């Protein structure tokens, strides 16, 4: 009994000598960048960022990126050297502040652009976070590929009384950056195509051309009366970016 008592006293003494682990605030800046373009920020609704413990699934932090898309000249036009920052204090990002007692292996996920459901892409990575060791500056950058494609005409379930139908779409980069002929994001480099189907069979395929209004592509066609499904896709053979929107309409 005395030996057991002595051991308990020894253990308690050791516990009193060893200080408890102290949580340390650790900052992690997460940014989300559109492939071949700029950062996803407030102007297009932001990206949702989720940070979880990779082993347990515990949610550690979540939020939306906010801020500007960044400096166009710096990001898209100037050559970059190693360790050169591409962002500043105004560039979109989500700053997570975590209280860590020990190293934790995490999964970081970004869903973007969050407000454009037909264009959302999920990008993720994993890394160790260390107590008190901040990841700031450009931070952790996740890339999302694609285009945001919105069909402007015809409208969903629109009944068109004329056989002459205008097909029109808005196409932008995932950050919302505009596409124009001869611009930084050159409309002449991208293929924007409309595919029309009826009763499960393809009726015709049209190449949409860029107009005077930035990011707007259109074409005209004639259709016989019937119910149609319209799919418009954008494709860049250089970067591999793609995007799709689709709807149904009726020609009376």
- Listed as ranges, residues in the chain with pLDDT below 50 are 4, 11-16, 18
Phi (first) and psi of residue 232, to 5 degrees: -120, 130
Q: What is the pLDDT of residue 3?
A: 56
Counts for the chain of helices (H) and strands (E), in that order = 2, 16
pLDDT computed for residue 21 by the predictor: 61
Give the containing element (helix H, strand E) for 11.
helix 2-17
What is the structure's pLDDT at 14? Answer: 47
Position 2 scores a pLDDT of 57
Give every CB contact of residue 39 below 8 A, 6+ residues apart in sequence. Answer: 31, 32, 33, 65, 67, 68, 69, 70, 75, 87, 91, 92, 93, 175
CA distance 106 to 86: 25
């Amino acid at each position: 009994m005395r030996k057991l008592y002595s051991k308990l006293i020894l253990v308690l003494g050791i516990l009193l000598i060893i200080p408890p682990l102290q949580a340390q605030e650790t900052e992690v800046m997460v940014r989300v960048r559109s492939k071949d373009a700029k950062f996803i920020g407030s102007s297009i609704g932001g990206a949702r960022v989720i940070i979880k413990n990779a082993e347990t699934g515990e949610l550690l932090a979540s939020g939306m990126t906010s801020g500007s898309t960044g400096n166009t000249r710096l990001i898209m036009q100037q050559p970059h050297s190693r360790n050169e920052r591409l962002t500043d204090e105004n560039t979109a990002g989500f700053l997570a502040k975590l209280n860590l007692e020990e190293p934790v292996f995490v999964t970081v996920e970004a869903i973007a652009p969050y407000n454009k459901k037909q264009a959302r892409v999920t990008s993720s990575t994993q890394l160790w976070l260390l107590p008190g060791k901040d990841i700031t500056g450009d931070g952790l950058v996740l890339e999302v590929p694609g285009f945001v494609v919105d069909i402007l005409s015809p409208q969903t379930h629109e009944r068109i009384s004329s056989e002459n139908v205008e097909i029109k779409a808005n196409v932008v980069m995932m950050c919302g950056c505009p596409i124009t002929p001869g611009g930084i994001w050159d409309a002449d480099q991208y293929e924007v195509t409309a595919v029309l189907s009826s009763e499960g069979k393809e009726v015709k395929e049209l190449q949409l051309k860029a107009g005077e209004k930035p990011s707007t592509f259109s074409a005209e066609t004639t259709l016989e009366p019937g119910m149609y499904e319209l799919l418009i896709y954008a494709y860049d053979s250089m970067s591999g970016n793609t995007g799709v929107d689709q709807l149904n309409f009726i020609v009376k």
